[in-house]
Structure 1
Amino acid sequence: MVKGIAAKGKKLKAGPPNLKKKGQSKVGQKKSSRMKVSSAALLKANATVAKFEKEARAAVKTSATARKRAVVAKKAAKKASKAKASTAKRAAKSAQNTAKKAAVKLAAANAKIRTAKAKARAIELAVTEKAKKIAEEAKRKADLEKAVAAFTDQWNKKRDKAEAAKAARKARKDALKARIAARKAAKKEKLDALEVAAKAKAAARKAS
C-alpha cells in the first residue's frame, strides 16, 4: 500500500509509495525458488502496475503539497485581521478541500495498484501453472522414452541371449551329426576292407 493514506481521524503523512511486496525477501536471504515465467499478458499487467505506481507517487506529492498549503492557510486565517478573516477562512477551507480531494485521489491510486497487482498475480499464477504442466508433460514424455529404451535394451539382450543359446544348441547338434557320420564312414570303410580281404583270400584259395 502507498504511504500517505492514514486511518480515519489521523493526520496524513507524506511519503513515497511503498512498492515493496508483502513478504519480500531481505538482502542476504535466499531468493525465491518460484518458477520464473513470462507472457505478453503478464508483461502488460506489470506495466499497468508500474503506471499506477507512478501515478500514486505523483498523488503523494500532490497530497503533501495540498496539506502544507492547508496548514499555511489555516495559520494565516488565525493571524488575519477581522477584515481579512473571512477571506482567509475561505482560503483555508478551499485548501482543506483541495487536500481532501488529493487524499481521495491518492486512495484511488492505491486501490488501482492493489487491483492491478492482484490481476498481475493471477496472470502470473496462470502462466506458471501452464509452464508447470508443460514441464510435467515433457518430463512424463522423457520418462516414457527412457522406459521404452530400457525395455527395448532388455528385450534385445534377452533375444540375443536366446539366439546365442539356439545357435549353441544347433552347433552341438551339428557336431553330434558329424561324429555319427564319421563313425558310420569309419565302420563302412572297415567293412569294405574286410570284404576286400575276404575276396582276396578266396581268390588265393582258388588259385592254389
Structure 2
Amino acid sequence: MADHPKSVFVLTGAGISAESGLGTFRDAGGIWATFDPMTLATPEAFARDPETVQAFYNARRQNLVAAEPNPAHRALARLEAGLAARGGSLTLVTQNIDDLHERAGHREVLHMHGELLKARCASCEAVVEARADLSTADSCGTCGRTGGMRPHVVWFGEIPFHLDAIEERLMAADLFVAIGTSGAVYPAAGLVGAARQAGIATREINLEPSDNAYLFDEADYGRASEAVPRWVEAMLGG
C-alpha cells in the first residue's frame, strides 16, 4: 500500500449500507428478493408499467428515509476531513442510491448510479428533490408534463453518471479502496483494474471476497461497521 497517501479514491457499494438496514443486491432477504430487478429497473419497465415501478421505488425510498448512517459511513466522513486537514483529498464514489454518506457528513459524493431521493422528468430531464412517494399523477414543475417523473437512478441499459470525473479523479489517486462492492457490476467493477494498470495501490474492504478480489493488493474482510473504522483510524494515525 502507498505510504501515507495524499489522494485516496474510495468506491462504495451496497455492502456499506447493509448494516443500516438497506438490502444488498445479492441479499436473499433484501428487497431485490421480492422483485426481479431485470423486470423493474429498466426504462422499458417504466414505460410498460409505471405504477409497479413507482411502487417498488416508493418502498425503497420509505426504507431509506427511516435508515441512519452506520459507523462505516461516519468513519469515511472523518477520513475526508482528516485528509483535507493535512493537505490531502478523498474522492468518494458510490454505487449506492442512498444519501447515507451525505448524512454522515461527507461534503462531496459522486453518485454514479443516481440518487433515490431525487426525481427526474423523462421529458425535459429536470431533476428535483423527492422524499415523498412518486406517482403517475405527478407533473413536472419545469415543463408541466404529467406521468414522466421517474426516480433519478440509473436503470439497466442506461449510462452511469460522472464517468469522466470518476476517471480523472482515479488517475490522480495514490490509493484505490473498494468497500462493500460485489465486483460484478460494471463499469464500477472495472475501476480496480484501471487503478492497477496505472500503478495505483489497491485495497478491498468487504464482508467476503468480491468477484474481482484477486485484483487487489490488500484486503480486509469483515463487517463494514468494524473494518472501515479500523482502516480509517490506521490511515489518520499513521
Q: Same fold (TM over 0.5)?
A: no
Q: Which has the larger radius of gyration?
A: 1
Task: Considering fraction of residues, name the structure with more strand.
Answer: 2
Higher relative contact order (CA 8 A, sep 6+): 2
Question: TM-score scaled to structure 1, two decimals?
Answer: 0.24
As a proportion of its length, which structure holds more helix? 1
